Amino acid sequence: MVVFMRPSAFGVAIESSIFEIKGDTPSLIGTLVAKQKLAYQLEPGKHLFMVAGNNADYLSAELRPNKTYYVRIAPIMGKWIGRFEITPMPINMLYSARFKGSLKECEEVEKTAAPAGEEESEMAAIQSKHKEYYAKWASEDRSKKPKLLPRDGK
């Protein structure tokens, strides 16, 4: 299981949409606003996640069975636009008082379906954003990319 959380109150009204990239296609996991978290059950193995706002950011993950992993979605300072980054929560952070407090403060939400007709038009825009930002992300130095490691689950 991966728990996506947005503990910051900054950008309270701006939604961040979270996707799993399957093949080359974004699949919606859910949408978060400030002080929310969303648990996502999935198979162990390698996965790629994307958060989208006015940008797209990526996080690769290698997950083990029977473990829970935590990921932070954070707004990025900008001029009136919703930009986000997605970062792993390493195992050593999961025992800190700050993490425990943030986890407790975040309200758990579930994935909800988009209104009829809206999902198709929005997915075309998301797919376009994915193609633009993924090429840039894929070309970056591997050692500088954040990754959710098997040891980060508890």
In a domain, 98, yes or no: no
Instruction: Name 5's bridge partners.
Output: 37, 72
In a domain, 52, yes or no: yes
Range of the domain at 64: 2-93+103-141
Token pair 């700050």 is found at: 98
Predicted pLDDT at 69: 97
In a domain, 137, yes or no: yes
Predicted pLDDT at 78: 64
Predicted pLDDT at 80: 57
- Tens digit of pLDDT for each residue in 106-143? 999 987 665 555 566 688 888 988 999 999 998 888 88
The residue-averaged pLDDT of 92-116 equals 84
The residue-averaged pLDDT of 16-21 equals 92
Average pLDDT over all residues of the chain? 87
Residue 120 has a CB neighbour count (10 Å cut-off) of 9
Q: What percent of the chain has pLDDT over 70?
A: 87
Predicted pLDDT at 20: 95
Predicted pLDDT at 118: 53
Q: pLDDT category, 75, cuts 50, 70, 90?
A: confident
In a domain, 21, yes or no: yes
Task: Residue 27: give its domain's CATH number.
Answer: 2.60.40
Predicted pLDDT at 110: 85
Long-range contacts of 28-32 (CB under 8 A, 24+ apart): 28/111, 28/114, 28/119, 28/123, 29/4, 29/111, 30/4, 30/109, 30/110, 30/111, 30/112, 31/112, 32/4, 32/5, 32/6, 32/73, 32/109
Predicted pLDDT at 143: 81
The pTM assigned to this predicted structure is 0.88
Per-state percent for the chain, helix, strand, coil, to nearest 5: 25, 40, 35
Number of structural domains found in the chain? 1
